[in-house]
Amino acid sequence: MAYDRDLSFVYRNPTKLVFGENSAKDVGIEVGELGCSKAFLVTDPGLVETGLPEIIVKALGNKYAGTFDQCIQDCGLHIINEAAEVAKAAGADCLVSLGGGSTIDTAKGMAILIKEGGRIEDYAGLQMLTRPQTPHIAIPTTAGTGSEVTYAFVVKDWEKNQKLIFADTFVIPNIGILDPTLTEGLPPGLTATTGMDAMTHAVEAIHALQAMPMSDAMAMHAIRLIMEYLPTCVENGTDLFARGQQQIAATMAGIAFGNAQIGMVHAMAHSVGGLFKVPHGLGNSILLPHVMLYNMDECADRYAMVADAMGLDTKGMSDLEASEAAANAIWDLTRKMGVPQKLSEVGVPEDGLDAAADLALSDGSIVYNPKLIYETDQILEVYKKAY
C-alpha cells in the first residue's frame, strides 16, 4: 500500500520490554532501575488462588510495600479510587501490576491518583496530565490487551453502565515484563478471546486513520504470529514457545494501535461490554469481521494487507475480494477455537441494540474508523448482522 506524499506522524514507544521464561522473577531489579524502593502490587482475586502474586512478592524482597488484590473484570471507578488510597497509605513509590488488561488499567489509574490526588473520574478524557506519573511495571498474565505498552485505559462507571476512556502519554507503563510461564494456566476460552483482542488491535491499527509505516509493520507481524501461534496456545496451553510468541504479538499489536488508534470495532465492543457485560476480547472477536465487511469499500487496500499478513493466497484477487477473504479467515479462526460467533450467544438482548448503537456513536474510538460514522443507524446495521 502506497502512502500519500503528505504523510506525517508521531510514533511513540517508550516502554522498556523484558521478555523470557521466568523473567518476572527479575522484577525487583527493574524496580531498582526505576530508582524506587517501595513497590505496591496490584492484582486480582483469581490470581491470588494460583499463587502467582507470591512469586512477585518474593522477587520484590525488601522492596515490597503491599498488595491490592481486588481488581475485577470491567474494573470500576470506585475500585481505582479505593486502591489508590491503600497504596498511598503503604507509602508506595511505584506500582507493579500483575494480571490482565483490567488489572493493568487499574494500576494506570492508581498511578495518577498517587501522584496527583483527587478521584479518577476527574481525569477522564485525552491528555489531562502535565507531568510523568507514578512509575509502573506491568506484568501481563494474558496475551491480548497490550495494555503494558499503551497510553489508554478503560474504566467502567458502574452507576451509568458506561465505559470511560482515559488517554494520556504520561500513563504508559515504564516497563513491561513478558513472562510466558505466567500465561501457562490461562484456560482455552480465555486464551482464545484475549488473543482475538490482540488480533482486533492489529487489524484496526491497519485500517485506522492514523496508520503509519511503523505501526503497519508492528500490526502485520502481530497478525502473522497470531495466525500461527494462537490456535496452538488454545489447543496446548503448556506450549511455552507458542505462549511467548502470542505475548510478543499482543505487545506488538498494542504498540501498533497505541500509535495508529483503532475504530468501530472497539466502539461497539465497549458499548456491549458496558451495557451487557460482554468480555472485551469476546465482543471484539464477534464484531471484527462484520466491521471489516462494512468498512471494506473504504479501505480495501488496507484489508488486503491484512490478508497478506494472514498468509492467504490472494493471487488474482481484487482488494475487495482479498478483504472479504480476510474477514472470512477471522471467522474460520474463531470457529476453530470454539469462540461464540453471535452477540445473541453471549447475553446481548435484541432490544438492547439501539441503546448500544447510541453509546457506540459517542465512543472516542469511532472517530478513527476509516469510514465516517455519523449516525446510529450505521452502527445498528452492523450490530444486527452480528446478532
pTM here is 0.95
Is the pLDDT at 198 greater than 80, yes or no? yes
Q: Residue 140 pLDDT > 80, yes or no?
A: yes
Where is pLDDT greater, at 330 or 155? Answer: 330
Mean pLDDT of 263-290: 96
Architecture of domain 188-385: Up-down Bundle (1.20)
| pLDDT tens track for 204-214 | 999 999 999 99
pLDDT value, residue 383: 98
Cβ pair 287, 386 in contact under 8 A: yes
Domain boundaries, the chain: 16-183, 188-385
- Kindly state the percentage of the chain with pLDDT values over 70: 99
- Spatial contact of 101 and 281, defined as CB atoms under 8 Å apart: no
Q: How many CA atoms lie within 13 A of 167 on its CB side?
A: 13
Q: What are the pLDDT digits (tens) for 313-370?
A: 999 999 999 999 999 999 999 999 999 999 999 999 999 999 999 999 999 899 999 9
* pLDDT above 80 for 1: no
Q: By CB neighbour count within 10 A (0-12 exposed, 13-18 middle, 19+ buried), where does 315 fall?
A: exposed
Q: Rounded CA gap, 326 and 315, in Å?
A: 13
Measured at the CA of 340, the angle between CA 45 and CA 248, to 5 degrees, comes to 60
- Amino acid residing at 108: K
Does the structure show a pLDDT above 90 at 148? yes
pLDDT of 296 over the 70 cut: yes
CATH number of 16-183: 3.40.50.1970
Instruction: Encode pLDDT of 28-68 as tens digits.
Output: 999 999 999 999 999 999 999 999 999 999 999 999 999 99
CA distance 366 to 377: 14
User: Buried b / exposed e across 347-362, counting CB within 10 Å, b at 16+?
Assistant: ebeeebbebbbebbbe
Are 265 and 176 in contact by the 8 Å Cβ rule? The answer is no
1 or 133: whose pLDDT is higher?
Answer: 133
**Nearest-angstrom CA–CA distance, 315 and 225:** 22
Q: What is the mean pLDDT of the chain?
A: 95
Nearest Cα residue to 98 out of 27, 163, 168:
27
Copy the grid coordinates of residue 7: 504523510
